[in-house]
Structure 1
Amino acid sequence: MNTKNRIILAGLLLFCSVQTLVGQVVRLERVEPPTWWIGMETASLQLLVYGENISLSTPTIDYPGVEIKSVTTLESPNYLFVNLNISAESQPGSFAINFMKGKKRLVSYEYQIQQKSDKGTTGQTVDGSDVIYLITPDRFANGERENDSTDDTIEKANREDTHGRHGGDIKGIVDHLKYVQELGATTLWMNPFLENDQPAYSYHGYGISDFYRTDSRFGSNEDFRNLTKECHDRGMKMIMDQVFNHCGTGHWWMNDLPANDWLNQWDTFTRSSFTNIAASDPHVSQSDYDLFTKGWFDKNLPDLNLHNEFLATYLIQNSIWWIEYAQLDGIRMDTYPYPDKQVMADWVKRVKLEYPDFYIVAETWESKASSLSYWNRIGPNADGYNPRLNSVCDYPLYYAMLTAFGQDGNVYKLYETLAEDFIYGDASNNKIFNGNHDVPRLYTLLDEDMSKVKLSMAFTLTTRGIPQLYYGDEILLAGDKPDGVLRKDFPGGWESDVRNAFSKNGRTTKEEELYRYVNTILKWRKNAKEIHKGRLTHFQPYDNVYVYFRSFDERKTMVIINNNDRKFERYQLDRFEEALEGYTRGTDIITNTTYLTLEYVDIQPNSALIIELIK
């Protein structure tokens, strides 16, 4: 058994290979989930057992409170699906799963069960008080050069290759976690860190080859758990990026699928249409729906068939395993509308059964609020489908920002987009962003105009929703497609880098200017409850100036965005009297300017005022 196929975090494998009476070899290579917990709301647990001819054996367990309810075989003789019942009265410990042939024990696996943690129900684990910082692990920082290339993975490090492995790892993130914290972000989201044992283009993490193993070029499972603990020790949170729609062609099961319907397969390679609206379109044809949901994302990303109940259960349990093992605070689910949407809703329901306040954000790449709202509802849609989600990626607002702050843009686009919030179940839970790993860099999209980038940052960090920033956007990293350029290395993350942008001395004057701008807003935002959970009241923009207020209890902040090349002297505030009533003065948190009257303000060209109001 090679390193790649070893059982992760499991007990001892005994008698790994045994000759049966009829001359057939029986081997045991893996049991997944490799461990589990007592005290789950659902007592049932499905074990995927894999090994040569393992279906010729009969599993037995002798442990108080643990019972085998059923055993199922599928097309491949090398799998068993063992359904257990683990009662709440069972005690933590380990027990042998013996695989028998009559009275003869062929192989044995020592299975461990622990007590489930008490994650509590004190409120949503990630909410509007947080700011998410998105990192592509391979491109952030190289903390351990020894794992840049590993013996158990195919692709080796080549920093000269835009699409290759560059060597960033978990240790690099740990080493620079202070930078993220001091910037003002509260929550870390990393693109997938699980094993991607592909021949090429594996750095991004979305071609998973083992759902229970951290890629050795990033570190180990224990390294990731320690990173999460380090975040928690700093008062920060961790969101894990997960993928149910597809795996990588290098996945260990690809050469021996458990069942013929484990994947969505076509006579010839068929790519998904990527037409998200097909999942919510009430008039969709079956062929269009099938092309979207069953077509492959790419030739190296086989499409998983969640209609297979064993696969669906496998993936749902995988999420729960990582939540409990690493004590996650949230999950970002990739390509959420692509798989079977009812299974996805069942997944949310199952996670929320165990962790009622757990944060789940779905990647829902919809440009219109009307389509996006299908996935963010309180209760079912008109077709009866209830997504059960509590957060979605707000692409309509992202595109509105690009339009508003782009060339000849008008902030009215922001106003009219937010005016459609009535269509959502809870728009304040939408994840809002001005950049991520799939789109050109913000600085590039806004024509490398610093002032427009600042406006985008001010808006993102003060409007409704849960804001997310993409690593490097705070220091003006630029880049357009291809993807390898969007996900460029953070300057200073490698020993050979000529400068270190993690420190003030390593940043250019312009980079430091934007960093300080974002940092100032983020430090203030941490205690601004009106931004975290306050009501948004906005006024129709005139002259390309957008004014809105965030209010909670006695706290209120006024935001003025001047999207013009001209200055407004003595900009009159009487039109906003209803929102200013009871307040007599204020302080701009960016410049620390105090306004002793709220009759008027001066507004510089292409600038934002964030004025904390005082009675």
Structure 2
Amino acid sequence: MVNSDVQLLIHGKNIADFDVLIPNKNVELKSVNKVANKNYLFLNLTISKNATPGNVIIKFTKGKESFKYVYELKPKPQRAQNGQAVTSEDVIYLITPDRFANGDITNDSTDDTLEKVDRYNENGRHGGDLQGVLDNLAYIEELGATTIWLNPVLENDQPAYSYHGYGISDFYKTDTRFGTNEDYKKIVDVSHKKGMKVIMDQVFNHCGSGHWWMNDLPSKDWLNQWDTFTRSNFTNIASSDPYVSSDDYELLTRGWFDKNLPDLNLENTFLETYMIQNSIWWVTYAGIDGIRLDTYPYPNKHAMSKWMKALTAEYPGFYMVAETWAERASYLSYWNNDKPNRDGYTPHVSSISDYALYYSIIRAFGKDGDVSELYKTLAEDFVYGNAANNKVFNGNHDVDRLLALLDENVDKLKLSMVFTLTTRGIPQIYYGDEILMKNKRPDGKVRQDFPGGWKNDKRNAFTKEGRTVEEEAVFNYIKTILNWRKTASSIHNGKLTHYQPRDNVYVYFRYTETENTMIIINNSNKNYNDFDLKRFEKSLKGYNGGKDIINDKLIDNLDHIAISKNSALIIELTK
């Protein structure tokens, strides 16, 4: 590894009473650190650049009592060194694994976890697993998404509400109800063979109350603890607010997300190192292509900055998207900034979740909405270090389904997809939106089962035959755009020029030196048989025609064009 130092957490009854020796010329035991709890030791090792893969013996001695532990040094996989970057060429498909497909019914309930399967409970485990994702990679591939992001699949040994994955009880172990570490790695391997990528959902802010260390904490400051249960204020902007009160800041960064989600204290340097090493280990072990970091503004931000620097030192250019839930671009720019903020903090984040644009999408295409919302939000891109890295989305696992928010107007859903998939940034869509899932919260309803993912389902929407006529039409609409987008360099790397919307019609261009794509979004109830394009002649200069990729029609007149109400055109321009 680039960083030759490694910290080992050692846990055992009164292990602090033992002396430690590593008789290996290529592994130096730099320090043995004791903490308040005698059941823990933290060993700091330096691995020589001359070290080779193999077993390292760690000797523990107390008087006449002694034992050995075999610690294995493994080679750094070539695949991990050359990990694929997630870029604006990609489209991310977000999956809640427990609700996607049940590929292995034998692991629906397991002996080593508390909560058992109960598909009739909207907050319970439904049995979806990694094999279910593997079984349906071809569906995602057909749709045209290039990257999958799974909500966390690590062990969540909680008595209830464990399906979502964010109450992790072992940061190194895949939940047995999902599969094994090897199964997770297999998803990455198979995805890579298909030319697809995988983003891992990681959590630094909290763990689950069922984590093994909760019964025997290394030290009191391993967690952010209060005299009585104190919940976070969930005010993301408190982390960047120059006028924030210490009370508000403390509540954000030290308050607990929930009673069953203890807040991790990353100001504890042993824990900070543990989490950073865990993250790097997963990249190296599984060969993942990116990380989505949950609740990014909540933990100690200096620890998060250190994590990003450590990660990119090992894997330069590695993709990391921060969950940054704030409604304004100015708030978000604190995390996507190419220079130190005024308080001296530099985030080193490669991508943020563009909630400002998400809310604009919902306002624009919701009831009585106006596409000027999109125009005005994009006009604020000057505040970012690199807006092209923002993750753009029109739905996820934490909000009402897209169709529900758009008053079940399918035309508006299609318009939101056109915008999401052609504007600047890295687009992400949520599983099931392509087949018109429409539930509203609570969360368990939004994260609904994909029809056909379970053996006895009445229909299988993974297949054409299992989709309704309307579902099939929307699936094919999105599929057409996604598969065209795979080779659309104007969308991948092109600049953006947009024109102030008039009469709820938004026109913009994505272009490089050699390619130009015009997008027209008619968000109005007016049909245009003769929409005048003269206003856009500077952007159309040098082009005399094009192809509407949605309807597969050639266009030979760039003076006027026909566009129906509540519809869009994506026109690849030709000279």
Same fold, TM-score > 0.5, yes or no: yes
The residue that corresponds to 2:300 in the other structure is 340
Could you tell me which of 230, 233, 242 is aligned with 1:270? Answer: 230
Instruction: Give the conservation status (yes or no) of the 8 Å contact 1:121–1:356.
Output: no
Could you tell me which of 47, 54, 63 is aligned with 2:24? Answer: 63
Question: Is 1:107 aligned to 2:94, yes or no?
Answer: no
What's the offset of the Cα at 1:123?
9.5
Could you tell me which of 53, 59, 63 is aligned with 1:92? Answer: 53
Instruction: Give the conservation status (yes or no) of the 8 Å contact 1:122–1:357.
Output: no
Question: SS of the counterpart of 1:238?
Answer: strand
Question: SS of the counterpart of 1:484?
Answer: helix
Q: Distance in 1 between matches of 2:29 and 2:83?
A: 36
What's the offset of the Cα at 1:286?
0.7
Instruction: Give the conservation status (yes or no) of the 8 Å contact 2:83–2:289.
Output: no
Instruction: Give the conservation status (yes or no) of the 8 Å contact 1:98–1:105.
Output: no
Instruction: Give the conservation status (yes or no) of the 8 Å contact 1:121–1:357.
Output: no
Instruction: Give the conservation status (yes or no) of the 8 Å contact 1:435–1:442.
Output: yes
Could you tell me which of 548, 552, 555 is aligned with 1:595? Answer: 555
Q: Distance in 2 between matches of 1:67 and 1:76?
A: 25
Q: Distance in 1 between matches of 2:181 and 2:82?
A: 28
Question: Is 1:565 aligned to 2:539, yes or no?
Answer: no
The residue that corresponds to 1:244 in the other structure is 204
What's the offset of the Cα at 1:349?
0.4
The residue that corresponds to 1:317 in the other structure is 277
Q: Distance in 1 between matches of 2:359 and 2:68?
A: 55
Q: Distance in 1 between matches of 2:498 and 2:297?
A: 32
Instruction: Give the conservation status (yes or no) of the 8 Å contact 2:124–2:163.
Output: yes
Question: SS of the counterpart of 1:218?
Answer: coil
The residue that corresponds to 2:154 in the other structure is 194
Q: Deviations over 1:388-424 (max 9, x none)?
A: 0010000000000000000000000000000000000
What's the offset of the Cα at 1:556?
0.6
Letter in 2 for 1:241: D
Which residues of 2 match residues 74-153 of structure 1 at below 5 A? 74-102=35-63, 104=64, 106-118=66-78, 125-153=85-113
Count of residue pairs brought into register by the alignment: 575
Q: Deviations over 1:232-257 (max 9, x none)?
A: 11111010000000000000000100
Stretches of structure 2 lacking an aligned partner (at least 5 in a row)? none
Question: SS of the counterpart of 1:81?
Answer: strand
What's the offset of the Cα at 1:118?
3.6
Q: Distance in 1 between matches of 2:285 and 2:494?
A: 34
Q: Distance in 2 between matches of 1:315 and 1:248?
A: 14
Q: Distance in 2 between matches of 1:575 and 1:77?
A: 75
Which residues of 2 match residues 436-515 of structure 1 at below 5 A? 436-515=396-475
Q: Distance in 1 between matches of 2:136 and 2:67?
A: 45
Aligned-pair Cα RMSD in Å: 1.1
Q: Distance in 2 between matches of 1:108 and 1:506?
A: 58
Letter in 1 for 2:179: G
- How many percent of aligned residue pairs carry the same amino acid? 61
Q: Distance in 2 between matches of 1:108 and 1:536?
A: 62
The residue that corresponds to 1:16 in the other structure is none
Instruction: Give the conservation status (yes or no) of the 8 Å contact 2:80–2:287.
Output: no
Instruction: Give the conservation status (yes or no) of the 8 Å contact 2:15–2:40.
Output: yes
Could you tell me which of 359, 362, 379 is aligned with 2:339? Answer: 379
Which residues of 2 match residues 320-469 of structure 1 at below 5 A? 320-469=280-429
Letter in 1 for 2:209: T
Q: Distance in 2 between matches of 1:379 and 1:86?
A: 34
| TM-score scaled by length of structure 1 | 0.92
What's the offset of the Cα at 1:553?
2.2
What's the offset of the Cα at 1:75?
1.0
Letter in 1 for 2:191: C
Question: SS of the counterpart of 1:115?
Answer: coil
Q: Distance in 2 between matches of 1:301 and 1:553?
A: 51
Question: SS of the counterpart of 2:573?
Answer: strand
Letter in 1 for 2:351: S
What's the offset of the Cα at 1:116?
1.6
Letter in 2 for 1:269: F
Instruction: Give the conservation status (yes or no) of the 8 Å contact 1:539–1:546.
Output: yes
Question: Is 1:177 aligned to 2:113, yes or no?
Answer: no
Q: Deviations over 1:459-509 (max 9, x none)?
A: 000000000010000000111110000100000000010000000000001
What's the offset of the Cα at 1:119?
5.2
The residue that corresponds to 1:26 in the other structure is none
Letter in 1 for 2:349: L
Question: SS of the counterpart of 2:109?
Answer: coil
Q: Distance in 1 between matches of 2:25 and 2:165?
A: 40
Letter in 2 for 1:397: L
Instruction: Give the conservation status (yes or no) of the 8 Å contact 1:123–1:357.
Output: no
Q: Distance in 2 between matches of 1:271 and 1:536?
A: 42
Q: Distance in 2 between matches of 1:175 and 1:185?
A: 16
What's the offset of the Cα at 1:120?
8.1
What's the offset of the Cα at 1:107?
2.6
